[in-house]
Every structure is written in structure tokens, then in C-alpha cells.
Amino acid sequence: MNTASRRRFLQAATATLLAAPAVNAIQPLGRTGKARLQLSLAAYSFREFFTNTQRPGAKNPPPADQVMDMFKFIDYCAAHDCDGAELTSYFFPKELSTDYLVQVRRHAFLKGVAVSGTAIGNNFSHPKRAKRDEEIAKTKQWIDRAAVLGAPHIRVFAGQTKELSREEADKLVVAALEECSDYAGQKGIFLGIENHDAIGSAEHLLKLIKQVNSRWLGVNLDSGNFRTVDPYADFAECAPYAVNVQLKTEINPVGGAAKGPQPADLPRFVKLLREAHYQGFVALEFEGKEAPYTAIPPVLKRLRELFAA
């Protein structure tokens, strides 16, 4: 083979490899057997009641008898028979030490509550500059913190940008997810990308994650964030890829006859999880307008009943 022919051969082979789907790209998790649904509660449900936190834009402190911190939140989960507690990163102290994380882990163990995961508010859609580097560094920092907490899962976002097209931003998201998932896998921690921000459909979410070559990435499946005509159909399509589930009491269909938020059919969501043989945590993330201290207990009770059926 002469030099010109060899060059053409290599160019053609390279083009074929680039066009082919990645052999190790994310596939459905292939769960079999009976579904196992473990009840958790997201700290975000009490977002207005945490003080001295990392959450930007926090409002005035709540009444003294309703103030939350991570220890009180874990106590609340234990008192309401939750298997797990999802410890949203925003609500940890601003000055966060390893010792604090260790004490939270100890407290949860003594209460018989698993740390089902944590959740961060990252943005992987920034152009390739310092901001994007900071977002990746922050994600890796929380992977290290999750390892200390004993949290097996971290919810992450794709994020948004006005500087790039969505198609170009998604390429950056895929690259960041691969880098961070590789790092998380070294700690035995899953990342779950949520249908949030720019991602409002199963089509977009699955197209995105199927480009990522990692055994440690899946979907953080949020029942309330699909902005399509039929959120239940999108939920069902993503369920085989779910590494964590967040259930809300409302859905937000778009494009059909329904206008505005609608009450969620919780039995239908649970049925869809069973049909997907989902085995893992299902966290209530309460975002309703009602006061969470009074609204959350009956929802948790209903979910326990549905999970036990």
C-alpha cells in the first residue's frame, strides 16, 4: 500500500470509528426481578427552613421552632419512617469541614437512616473557560464529600447558557459528565443527571447520556420536571436508566389541553417504576405551595402504602 492509499485508508477508518456509537455508551441498567422501592425524603423539601447554608438567595430565617439543619432533618426522616435522607448540598453550612460530614454520617447511622444521596446545583453548559473549570472542580469536591458521607449518588445538572447553542453546550456537558463520572467511579459513587433546566424531555435526556462512556452515570429521574404533553410517558422511557428517583406531588405538562401544574398521579408513577423493575431510593421532593411540616407527612404515608402494595 503506497503512502497516498494508506492515508486514505486511515482517514476512512477514522471517519467510521467517529460515526459509530461508543461501544460502552450508557445502556439501560438491565434490572431484573422484583422492584424494590426505598422511601427517602429530599432536604430540598424544607428549603425555606434551613439557615446558615450554602444556598444563594435564602430568605429571612424561619420561626425558631421550625429551623432545620442536617441533624434535625435526619431526625425528621427517622420519625417519619423514611429509609433514607437525601442531603441537598445547598443546606450544609457555608464553612463545611470534613468533621461535620463525619458527624452527619454518624448521626444518620445511629438513627437507622441511610444517606441516599446528595444533590448539587452545577452548570456544565458554561463555555470552556474558568467558570466551567470551577463547575467541574465543585462537582469533584462534592464527590469527595459524598464519599465521606457514605452517599452512593449525586444529582447533577446539565445547566444552561446564553453564550452557546444548546447543541454546542451539550457537547461540553457530555465531556464534563465523562470526566466527573470517571472520578466518581473511582469512589464507587453514581452521578445522576436530572431532567432539569434545558432538559425537559426524555428524548433530550437520553440522547445526551447515551453519548457518555461511563458505568457510573445514570438518570436522576424527577417526575415533576418533564415539560411535554405526557410526562408519564417520558418518565416511563427514562425509568430503565434511573439511578435515583425524585417524586413530586405535581406535574407540569406542556402543549396539551392541561394548563399549569396538575396533581401527580402517584400510584401511576409507582406502577411505572415497578414495571421498570426499579430497585433503589425514591425520594419525595416536595415543592407544593402548602406548608411542608403539615403537607409532607400524609404524602410520605401514602408513598409507604404504595411501596408496600
Quick: pLDDT tens for 23-58: 457 788 989 999 999 999 999 999 999 987 766 655
DSSP SS3 for 244: strand
Number of folded domains that form the chain: 1
Phi-psi region of 190 (alpha: psi -120 to 50; beta: other; left: phi over 0): beta
Find out whether 227 and 252 touch, Cβ atoms under 8 Å: yes
H or E stretch including 225? Answer: none
- pLDDT band, residue 308 (cuts 50/70/90): very high
Percent with pLDDT over 90 in the chain: 83
pLDDT at 204 over 60: yes
Alpha carbon 142 to its chain's center: 13
In a domain, 275, yes or no: yes
Q: What is the arithmetic mean of pLDDT over 138-161?
A: 98
Range(s) of the domain holding residue 255: 30-308
In a domain, 12, yes or no: no
In a domain, 264, yes or no: yes
269 Cβ contact list (under 8 Å, min separation 6): 223, 232, 235, 247
Would you state the pLDDT for residue 62?
A: 85
Strand partners, 220: 194, 244
Task: Write the CATH number for 237.
Answer: 3.20.20.150
Spell out a b/e string for 176-208, using b for 16 or more CB atoms within 10 Å of the CB, else e.
bbbebbebbbeeebbbbbbbbebbbbbebbbeb
- β-strands 242-247, 250-251 pairing: unpaired
What's the rounded Cα separation, in Å, for the pair 81 and 39? 8
Dihedral angle at the C-alpha atoms of 301, 304, 306, 309, nearest 10 degrees? -130
What's the rounded Cα separation, in Å, for the pair 306 and 298? 12
pLDDT single digits (tens) 159-196: 999 999 999 999 999 999 999 999 999 999 999 999 99
Higher model confidence: residue 260 or residue 207? 207
pLDDT single digits (tens) 83-117: 999 999 999 999 999 999 999 999 999 999 999 99
In a domain, 15, yes or no: no
Of 118, 35, 115, 44, which is closest to residue 82 (Cα–Cα)? 115
In a domain, 11, yes or no: no
In a domain, 17, yes or no: no
Phi, psi of 16 (to 5 degrees): -65, -45
In a domain, 266, yes or no: yes
- pLDDT band, residue 20 (cuts 50/70/90): very low
In a domain, 23, yes or no: no
Percent with pLDDT over 70 in the chain: 90
Find out whether 262 and 172 touch, Cβ atoms under 8 Å: no
The CA-atom distances, in angstroms, between 293 and each of 78, 82, 265, 288 are 15, 15, 22, 12
Of 9, 41, 81, 82, which is closest to residue 287 (Cα–Cα)? 41
Would you state the pLDDT for residue 1?
A: 52
- Residue 258, classified by CB atoms within 10 Å of its CB into exposed (0-12), middle (13-18) or buried (19+), is middle
Of 205, 209, 211, 213, which is closest to residue 231 (Cα–Cα)? 205
